[in-house]
Amino acid sequence: MSQELQPVKLMDTILKGYSKPQHVLFSDGRTYVVKFKNNPSGTRILVNEYIAGKLGELLSLPVIPFEVVQIEDDFLKKLPIYAKYKLQSGNQFASLYIDNCIQLQRGSKNEDIKVNNREHLAGMVVFDLWIGNTDRKENNVLLEPVENGEHYLHMIDHGRCFSKADWTVKALKKMPKMTVNLNVHKWSISLMQSQDELQAAIEKTMSIPKEAIYDIINSIPADWEVSEAEREALVTHLVQAQQLLPKISVKSKKKK
């Protein structure tokens, strides 16, 4: 958690999202997409983003670099949305803003998109199924132009994990489904050269030790109000879900 980063000003960029993220310039000269406590989707969105970000880093997946930043009332009150949602001071979730990106097109096979970090695609599919990310829609990957007409794929927006954004201890007893249904996942699999890539991603995800998962869950900021019982349930859920990964089912279409 960064104690050094300080918010400087709100940028003019209008960002979409139910959680009303804001584009903010910080004291390091970079801008971040910030999700605030008590946003319309709830503080649990920040918890989910944090867990996904930390787990994604462990797996060397292309999650956007992020920070947990302190933002107090004196800055919050300058935001136009403050009065409407009564955003709360304290720890907030800030992910680096990456400009000039494109997104996958809905209703398209996106065959023209060349991904230069294709090796991450299998990992993204397995990761999303593991954490129950139901929101890997076309607008929840960023494609950053690189050289030779290719794009680097970034994974964004992990607020709706564990099958629902506002999960409870009871909800965490339900295990995620291991069936590939989302179009982005189907597109990712279509770019794989063999099923071996998926198997390797499964084995890598299953190799994360319980202790590492515990350390991440235990490091969730206290003011995000995750109880001890909820933290224990999160660890148990993730460990049990790991064991289901070999059951991942990919429905392949028969070629005509």
Query: Phi and psi of 233, rounded to 5°?
Result: -65, -35
Is 205:245 a contact under the CB 8 Å cutoff? yes
CA distances from 92 to 1, 143, 208 (A): 10, 25, 27
Tokens describing residue 38: 């008590």
pLDDT at 162: 93
Q: How far apart are the C-alpha atoms of 55 and 219, rounded to whole Å?
A: 12
Per-residue pLDDT reduced to its tens digit, 102-127: 999 998 889 899 999 999 999 999 99
| Cβ atoms < 10 Å from Cβ of 61 | 23
Q: How far apart are the C-alpha atoms of 169 and 158, rounded to whole Å?
A: 19
- Angle, helices 228-242 vs 121-131, to 10°: value is 130
Query: Which is more confident, 111 or 224?
Result: 224
- Band the pLDDT of 141: cuts 50, 70, 90: very high
Is 187:110 a contact under the CB 8 Å cutoff? yes
Which single residue is written with the structure tokens 């398209």? 108
In DSSP terms, which residues pair with 93 in a beta bridge? 35, 68
pTM of the model: 0.94
- Band the pLDDT of 255: cuts 50, 70, 90: very low
Domain edges within the chain: 7-96, 118-247
pLDDT at 250: 81
Is 241:130 a contact under the CB 8 Å cutoff? yes
pLDDT at 236: 98
Per-residue pLDDT reduced to its tens digit, 26-68: 999 999 999 999 999 999 999 999 999 999 999 999 999 999 9
Per-residue pLDDT reduced to its tens digit, 59-76: 999 999 999 999 999 999
- Band the pLDDT of 252: cuts 50, 70, 90: low
Find all residues with CB under 8 Å of 128, minimum gap 6, and list them.
136, 182, 185
Per-residue pLDDT reduced to its tens digit, 165-219: 899 999 999 999 999 999 999 999 999 999 899 999 999 999 999 999 999 999 9
pLDDT at 165: 87
Q: How many residues in total does the chain contain?
A: 256
Please calculate the CA angle 199-200-202 and round it to the nearest 5 degrees: 65
pLDDT at 222: 97
Query: Phi and psi of 213, rounded to 5°?
Result: -65, -45
Query: Phi and psi of 199, rounded to 5°?
Result: -65, -40
| Fold for the domain defined by 118-247 | 1.10.1070
Is 28:11 a contact under the CB 8 Å cutoff? no
Tokens describing residue 249: 């089912």
Burial (Cβ within 10 Å: 0-12, 13-18, ≥19) of residue 172: buried
pLDDT at 164: 81
